Amino acid sequence: MAGLIEDYALIGDMQTAALVCRDGTVDWLCLPRFDSHAVFAGLLGTEEHGFWRLGPAHAADAKPPVAARRRYRGDSLILESEWDTPRGTVRVTDFMPPRDGAPQLIRIVEGVSGRVPMRSALRMRFSYGRVVPWVHKHEGRTVAVAGPDSVWFDTTAETYGKSLTTYADFTVAPGDRIAFTISWEPSHKQPPALPEPEQSLDATEDFWREWVEQCTYHGPYREAVVRSLITLKALTYAPTGGIVAAPTTSLPEDIGGVRNWDYRYTWLRDAAITLSSLLRTGYRDEARAWREWLLRAVAGDPENLQIMYGIAGERELGEAELDWLPGYENSGPVRVGNGAAHQLQLDVYGEVTEALHLAHMTGLARNDYASLLQLKLIRYLEQHWDEPDEGIWEVRGPRRHFVHSKVMAWVAVDRTIKLIESGDADGPLEKWRELRDDIHRDVCEKGYDKERNTFTQSYGSKELDASLLLIPQMGFLPPDDKRVIGTIEAIQRELSTSDGFILRYPTSGGEENLDGLPGDEGAFLACSFWMADDLAMIGRVDEARKLFEKLLDLRNDLGLLAEEWDPRLKRQVGNFPQAFSHVPLIDTALRLTASGAYGG
């Protein structure tokens, strides 16, 4: 059975990523891209669906031993795991070198003390565990082939096949270093070049060191911020600049439930807020690459802006269920693709415009088409801002007039007005000032509950929604406005879990909730960071710091966060690691640092 979600480490090459468990098992890897079919899908099924375990040998009827220690090597994505055994200590170094050819996953075993018997067990299964490849030798190398895919396995250790699995049994002593590499190549092409593990390790370490040196944040939360930045970089598809929400699909928001979605795509919302964090910490190249990705993705059709695209800008992301996979801890169905791609979510226009505005304000070189796109988006909103939509949380129930969507429509108009006022674009300034005022008035009249002194999830509703916490952060109202303070306090009362974290919106666990889905979900970590931000903005900085540091304590031992925290099970849930959790971590750290609200 797969480990707990927080038991996993992330390694990647900025085109795809693998998850490595504490026992040395790679349970998830898609090749050659984030959104390709998985070669190891044990995370969503069983060992029959593909895995690669490398660690101390153990009895067949015993659980694999877990590493006594693990860490990333400095500020990098190079994972080091160490096992202490009765016979000695051994270290395994896992990494994926930034790609200059075939994608590679390299694992180097190093003897530390004593003589430790080791075993590598490699079971490759293509098409998310459904296809058993033809594994054979080719000029001394092991290759697995099925359809368009081939995976090449290289090591100096002696290997053998048994039960459709490739094994290597060996012993390491101090100073021994034995490398194992898998490389992907289209099956019709020549074999990939022989790997050079040690040189690749040095180059990978150099890459991350040089990248992290660009970080301009040097505050008290630097360790957490840098690890989050590295994670966001790892979730960026280097060839295009697209940023995936997470490298996984169908890790459940509700263990045993149906809230399982494919996050291996580029949500405009997630990518826009990621761009904001990168710009604020010194990463202009990534911001520029994302802007270019955006312009290509929406080129020619900005009026039909999708909420998400493929990592190269693909529009069709049809949703399907993989019925041969039982799901993580039997949380089915396992889904690939995402049917929410064509939902109407008006807030996306605001997030994209805010990202373009920030890029402009921080001196990113002007792009005339970016300004043209911004104007086209506002012309669309002129006609559609007052329509109901599915909202930020992608509800699968009926459309509503979500307050957050209207607020973000206001943001889109406001930022475009600022662009025109700066002289960098032309547009009907007075007309759009009136539009901005109309949207603001509409929200304050229809989305605000005077009796309870709080904004509500949608017009006419009584429910709250944590996305309302963004009202002061977006500048829609000032932090000291009584309606803002009332909303923050109402969300604290009605959407807080017993340990003080924030739910997105109420779920009752009945047959169907506000979002059109059965079951409950955990506390949404981004919303909890938003609460810390708001508390700092209204002057409750000590409370903000305490909540922020509580959230930091939820990270796993490697500093990684999933989408949600289950307050009942006290564990991480949802796709992992999640950009939408790491971005607000960075933003809150920056705000608390600026306010001086941090511990000694």
Q: How confident is the model at residue 512 (pLDDT cuts 50, 70, 90)?
A: very low
pLDDT at 511 over 60: no
* CA–CA distances in Å: residue 483 to residues 328, 392, 403, 469, 539: 42, 21, 14, 11, 15
pLDDT at 599 over 70: no
What pLDDT score was predicted for residue 529? 98
With H, G, I as helix, E, B as strand and everything else as coil, classify residue 591.
helix
What pLDDT score was predicted for residue 517? 65
Instruction: Tell me 43's DSSP state.
Output: G
29-38, 316-325, 504-513: lowest mean pLDDT where?
504-513
Instruction: Give the C-alpha separation, 595 to 535, whole Å.
Output: 12
Residue indicated by tokens 């390790």? 201
What token pair was written down for 188?
């019709």
Q: How confident is the model at residue 338 (pLDDT cuts 50, 70, 90)?
A: very high
What token pair was written down for 36?
């390709």
Instruction: Give the C-alpha separation, 403 to 454, whole Å.
Output: 11
What pLDDT score was predicted for residue 271? 82
Mean local confidence (pLDDT), 516-522: 69
pLDDT at 242 over 80: yes
Angle between helices 429-446 and 403-421 (to 10 degrees): 160
Instruction: Give the C-alpha separation, 348 to 578, whole Å.
Output: 19
Mean local confidence (pLDDT), 552-577: 97
User: In this structure, which long-range contacts are made by residues 387-391, counting pairs with CB atoms below 8 Å and at least 24 apart in sequence?
Assistant: 387/344, 387/346, 389/343, 389/344, 389/345, 389/346, 389/347, 390/340, 390/343, 390/344, 390/345, 391/345, 391/347, 391/458, 391/467
pLDDT at 519 over 70: no
Angle between helices 579-595 and 541-552 (to 10 degrees): 140
What pLDDT score was predicted for residue 104? 98
Q: What is the pLDDT of residues 398-418, one digit of tens each?
A: 899 999 999 999 999 999 999
pLDDT at 554 over 90: yes
Report the share of the chain in percent with pLDDT over 90: 81
Residue among 468, 475, 440 at smallest CA distance from 453:
468
CB-count burial class (<10 Å; 0-12, 13-18, 19+) for 370: buried
Q: CB-side exposure of 214: number of CA atoms within 13 Å? A: 16
52, 11 in Cβ contact below 8 A? no
Mean local confidence (pLDDT), 29-35: 98
What pLDDT score was predicted for residue 274? 87
CB-count burial class (<10 Å; 0-12, 13-18, 19+) for 158: exposed
Q: Cα 531–242–52 angle (5° rounding)?
A: 90
Q: How confident is the model at residue 597 (pLDDT cuts 50, 70, 90)?
A: low
Instruction: Give the C-alpha separation, 170 to 255, whole Å.
Output: 38
What token pair was written down for 138?
């080719």
What pLDDT score was predicted for residue 343? 87
The residue that leads in pLDDT, 507 or 226, is 226
What pLDDT score was predicted for residue 472? 98
Sign of CA dihedral 456, 461, 462, 467: negative
**Torsion angle of C-alpha atoms 586, 591, 593, 595, degrees rounded to 10:** -170
pTM, 2 dp: 0.95
Neighbours of 222 (CB within 10 A): 14
With H, G, I as helix, E, B as strand and everything else as coil, classify residue 541.
helix
Mean local confidence (pLDDT), 326-352: 92
What pLDDT score was predicted for residue 598? 57
pLDDT at 463 over 50: yes
Q: How confident is the model at residue 600 (pLDDT cuts 50, 70, 90)?
A: very low
- Tell me the pLDDT of the chain averaged across its residues: 93
What pLDDT score was predicted for residue 395? 78
Instruction: Tell me 24's DSSP state.
Output: S
What pLDDT score was predicted for residue 516? 58
pLDDT at 216 over 80: yes
Residue among 432, 270, 431, 422 at smallest CA distance from 352:
270
Residue among 201, 189, 186, 332 at smallest CA distance from 254:
332
Residue indicated by tokens 């160490």? 82
Neighbours of 422 (CB within 10 A): 11
pLDDT at 506 over 90: no
Instruction: Give the C-alpha separation, 201 to 130, whole Å.
Output: 32
Neighbours of 597 (CB within 10 A): 21
328-332, 346-350, 369-373, 473-477: lowest mean pLDDT where?
369-373
Number of H helices, E strands in the chain: 14, 27
Residue indicated by tokens 């490759």? 124
Mean local confidence (pLDDT), 292-317: 86
Neighbours of 452 (CB within 10 A): 15
Q: What is the pLDDT of residues 442-458, one digit of tens each?
A: 999 999 999 999 999 99
Q: CB-side exposure of 354: number of CA atoms within 13 Å? A: 25
Instruction: Tell me 214's DSSP state.
Output: T
What pLDDT score was predicted for residue 509? 43
What token pair was written down for 111?
């003897």
